[in-house]
Structure 1
């Protein structure tokens, strides 16, 4: 038996050794929302056509009157990222603040003049920063529009802003040596140096609680039993204090929850992951995501095998009836989905373990996304023999992150779920 898994591992090891940062890759996108554009759009075209591939966003509260907004834009000319000067020359930025999704009353609006002072480049990404005046409201939806000069082409991004919330994640950002702007993601690779700063640059002491805990993957979308929430009762493994504006490194992998005030119930969770994340390349870590397409017996057989990697090879070859080329293609397709889920959905646990990550890995990117204040609805127009299937995700309070969503589960998902799992198992998804 040829080492088919070794080919996959060798390929990604070569990528890592070559120094290709995973952050430079654009994850397979979510589609536009029905009301506001999603944070991801389409993949770069092969021509020299201009395109905005994706926009992600975050904000930090500066004080009671202002919020600093950051837009992270994947902008391309063909397959090449656009230089800052070209971006400034080609694109315009306007914004409107609404009271809620679907509302028409405007709380504020403006045009942002793009210059070298508020547009920078981090890796292949354009980062735009600008201030917005806080309305006298607890909550609002910021709709940003980036348009191409002289054309009708534009991309929208929606950002929920809680103007009066003073939790750590609203006040502080995480910065690395490679970026003058705060990270949009929740994870840091182990031994990567970073700094925590407040938007007003004040020097503060922060309290850190470390959890050496591996959170469970998402349960079946058909399992309607109430989920077990272990987050509130987790035992703290250690605690210490740090200072803002000072470079730090967290060497131990695990979850770190950071508070500016220990009386607060919600902190700023940072997941410290291995140096290859969001890629999954270590043999022992390849098993976890297979839960979504395997039987309990198959998982148990791999776990008890003396040679873990050979057991994984055997697993894929058995599924593909000994077809080595089909097995290689299926492995690459599956773990590409896992990497994309890690990039898009990592919160206090790896993206593949989240409800959104599970649905994304098995079914792919939804055809439509509709968002409201605390809900997302993903629509798959056709998967297998099923049409217009909706998956609803509700935002839930969480002590680590403010974008934790849980799937509303139904037994009726069986007719779409099992055929898609079977498609993975017979190699028809590539």
Structure 2
């Protein structure tokens, strides 16, 4: 009897990447920064508090004041830590440097943690604090969360453009009842949200809607010149009011401007209600291009029943071993979900260059950042040790954190053995 698989497997959730700070070519660390490994967030058996990762963003009130938000994955034992326990356990200090790799301080201070600036969003602790902006165009904020009575600390670096008052620096996207802006770039369809400044005002905003299916990342070995980028056609335009409840039912990319003469907007990707999970069979097909041949992808596309075709695909790869196929499905689509959580920009996270590398190779062992560059390091992958992938920040009209991978043909002996491990079920 033929065995049927459920490709709509429950997807496990892990925490975000925590990077380290560095300069670009010389990879000098900020004075207080230490290299931090990036790990998947697994519930801890110990009852000791543990910080797993920090993400951050900022909103400018004006050119003199900045508000910073830290989104912290913190656990006590197996459970997310409560705000009250977090306040009792941790301290927060910060330093503003003029750039990566320098010792010039533009400001520093400590933040008293209390119920007014520590809250939760989902399972994350969210900390907010105010900065007096230095009279500079640019700076690097280093936030340090330390555990009271120990030497344990976790650092987060955040580049801030203090004079750039575009909509994506001055507005935040908030869910209906939240006092903290979303760290992510996406909203689920029909999810209620508000777009507002730190000083809420009912300003009229202009929205450009794009009903466009952006391409997934190309192979890391594809060094061919991309050629001239095609212009993206706007499908519709309309206006909304800031500080008023909104819902966007139609999936797609919405770019929001306070002034239509601006080059960069506040990009919001509206996705289905299950995202960052992928559950619909036709959506599950997309990420498989990173581990499949064109023939395999085309065979599934031609099938009348996507679900049966996907079941057959996985069972064939695993030589009919249904339990192994089920485990491989869970592992693969867990990575896809994580990529969507971590790297969604103007397109789904799994389609980005970072998402592709993350899905196939997993979380990097170390992340080094400079002003417009990230370097992901893997201690060992495939047949190689000390593998680096460099991502350069590129100007983008929708988001300010779009990165592109520097591609090399020499990645081939690293990449293909890991892909083959996915195909034979040896990656867990």
Normalization by structure 1: what TM-score? 0.93
CA spacing shift, 1:60–1:146, aligned 2, 3 Å: same
1:384: Cα distance to partner? 2.0
Pick one of 300, 323, 330 that aligns with 2:321: 323
1:11: Cα distance to partner? 4.1
In the alignment, structure 2 segments of 5+ residues that lack a partner are 23-28
Contact 1:205 1:243 (8 Å CA) reproduced: yes
Contact 2:18 2:53 (8 Å CA) reproduced: no
Contact 1:42 1:54 (8 Å CA) reproduced: no
1:32: Cα distance to partner? 4.5
Instruction: Say yes or no: does 1:312 pair with 2:300.
Output: no
For 2:263, what is the secondary structure of its paired residue? coil
**Which residue of the partner structure matches residue 376 of structure 1?**
374
Q: Using the alignment, how far apart are the partners of 2:36 and 2:347 within structure 1?
A: 22
Contact 1:32 1:41 (8 Å CA) reproduced: no
Pick one of 247, 263, 274 that aligns with 1:276: 274
Q: Using the alignment, how far apart are the partners of 1:31 and 1:135 within structure 2?
A: 25
1:53: Cα distance to partner? 1.7
**Which residue of the partner structure matches residue 18 of structure 1?**
none
Q: Using the alignment, how far apart are the partners of 1:148 and 1:312 within structure 2?
A: 47
Work out which structure has the larger RCO, using CA pairs closer than 8 Å and 6 or more positions apart in sequence.
2
**Which residue of the partner structure matches residue 392 of structure 2?**
394
CA spacing shift, 1:328–1:28, aligned 2, 3 Å: farther
**Which residue of the partner structure matches residue 359 of structure 1?**
357
1:33: Cα distance to partner? 5.2
For 1:380, what is the secondary structure of its paired residue? strand
Question: What are the superposed Cα offsets for residues 22-56 of structure 1, whole Å, 9 maximum, x if unpaired?
Answer: 9xx44364565563567965524222110112211
Contact 2:335 2:358 (8 Å CA) reproduced: yes
For 1:146, what is the secondary structure of its paired residue? strand
Alignment length, in residue pairs?
Answer: 416
Q: Using the alignment, how far apart are the partners of 2:288 and 2:228 within structure 1?
A: 23
For 1:169, what is the secondary structure of its paired residue? helix
CA spacing shift, 1:40–1:186, aligned 2, 3 Å: farther
**Which residue of the partner structure matches residue 45 of structure 1?**
44
Contact 1:255 1:269 (8 Å CA) reproduced: yes
Instruction: Say yes or no: does 1:87 pair with 2:75.
Output: no
Contact 2:366 2:376 (8 Å CA) reproduced: yes
In the alignment, structure 1 segments of 5+ residues that lack a partner are 13-21
RMSD: 1.7
CA spacing shift, 1:11–1:71, aligned 2, 3 Å: closer
Contact 1:40 1:55 (8 Å CA) reproduced: no
Q: Using the alignment, how far apart are the partners of 1:307 and 1:427 within structure 2?
A: 24
**Which residue of the partner structure matches residue 245 of structure 1?**
243
1:107: Cα distance to partner? 0.3
Contact 2:202 2:244 (8 Å CA) reproduced: no
